[in-house]
Amino acid sequence: MSGKQQKNEAYDIRSVALYCRVSTDEQAREGVSLDEQQERLKAYCRAMGWTEQVQLFVDDGYSAKNLDRPELKRLLQAVKSGNVSRIMVTKLDRMSRRLLDLLNLIDMFQNCEVSFVSISESFDTNTPSGRLTLQVLGAVAEFERERIRERVFENMFHAATTGKWLTQSPYGYDLLDKSLVINDKEADIVRRVYDLYLNEGLGFYSIAKRLNEEGIPSRQRKEWSIRAIKLMLTNPAYKGTLVWNRIDSSKSKRKDKDESEWVNVEDCLPVIIEKPIWESVQRRKGQTSMAPRAQTSPHLLGGMLRCGNCGSGMSIGFSGSPSKRYRVYRCSANKNKGTCTSKQYRADLVEEWFKDGLLQIVGDTSGILMIMAKEAAIKSDRDQLEQKANTAKARYKRKIEAYTSGLIELDDLNEEKARLDQILSGLEKIDHGEAESIDMGQLQKELNGKVNNIISAINLLPVEQAKGIIQTLIQYMIVHGDEDIEIKLQPL
């Protein structure tokens, strides 16, 4: 028997694959049923006189926006294994709505000598005219899909700009007629989480652990996780701001879009967390956090102390004779590299210097510390405005392109320009020393409150908990010499 005859016989025994697909939305909207698709495909086989064995591949409840479908994957495996001679669908979009995916699939089918037949469009990819028709129809289908996506985006954009909530309500709110309403019981938990993070210095893990130990369930009646706490502490909805179009979900892996593409609507939602508190939490989150090992260190200033000679961190160690060992703080560059000549300091003495420094902050009458706190607050405000300015510039550039293409009106462009000018004006005022006056009395009160809180924590709480509270006010400390310790404050 010749090789060509063997090949023909192998082709003849391969089966016809009938592929059917429906998504739940399509079935409800168009009445497209899987049974109807199967009957139409089998009837077409009988009419064409195709007597090959039939294999059925059915994806129930899957969208055609990508190829991640179990039965489609099984079909493609059958094609690669050489078990299929022809693939049939009732309509082109049963296989895919994306032209690129269709062309890639058909290219694979052709390489495996498998024809592709769509009975509604009446073409067979075994013929040149069928392949041409397929590409034209695929282009039209993708164009229509993009048009639908644009219309949906426009509708959702309008809803977002009017303060309508478009997804599941976040923890702390209930959803009523597309509007958020505060859930008092959950809102109390949200406020407590912010307080634990901002005023007690707990991290995401510690907060989740505490809520779980107290038996407080999350929305889904599950245990709290690090991710859930992080999302709560970064959700602008709690300060009354709606942010939409933040996530790109068009790909299989979701990711954040560029900030210039976000839709921000200020003061349109019920407020659970006041803006100053929310902003303070974001500032703390953006600051370099202590290493996890240092956080659990039983030494009060571990992970927060720096060498005044070279700026390196100082680690804990032990010195003295075997019978009279004592703790010391030692420059890491001196200890590990020998590149610093700084001496080591007894840990108990350094910790006493630190406590004395805290008392001096409370009793400060010269105003130097208040000036430092004010400068830190102004710098923090400037950093935030600069970040907003960069985002606003990118957004304005996109709006210019959209206006040039005729996609938006001049009023929209002018509105975006006004927002940019307002941010740049605020930035310019800070640079020229014309920033809004800071309430020094309130600043002093807040500073004293935090210092007293730290002093109480040091005296009453375990070291690990006290360190978290210290971090709410203090970035780090620098040892310059005996009884000379510099304390760097966090922005209040």
Q: Which residues pair with 20 in a beta bridge?
A: 58
Asked about 23 being catalytic, the answer comes back as yes
Task: Write the single-letter amino acid at 369.
Answer: L
The CA distances from residue 237 to 259, 276, 463, in Å, are: 16, 14, 35
Residue 125 falls in which region: left (phi positive, over 0), alpha (psi -120 to 50) or beta: alpha
Q: Return d(Cα 216, Cα 228) in angstroms, integer.
A: 13
CB contact set of 35 (below 8 Å; sequence gap of 6+): none
End-to-end Cα spacing for the chain = 89
Of 199, 194, 202, 227, the C-alpha closest to 295 is 202
Furthest-apart CA atoms within the chain: distance in Å: 107
Q: Residue 205 has which token pair? A: 């893990």
**Which member of 2, 15, 23, 169 is catalytic?**
23
Q: Which residues are catalytic?
A: 23
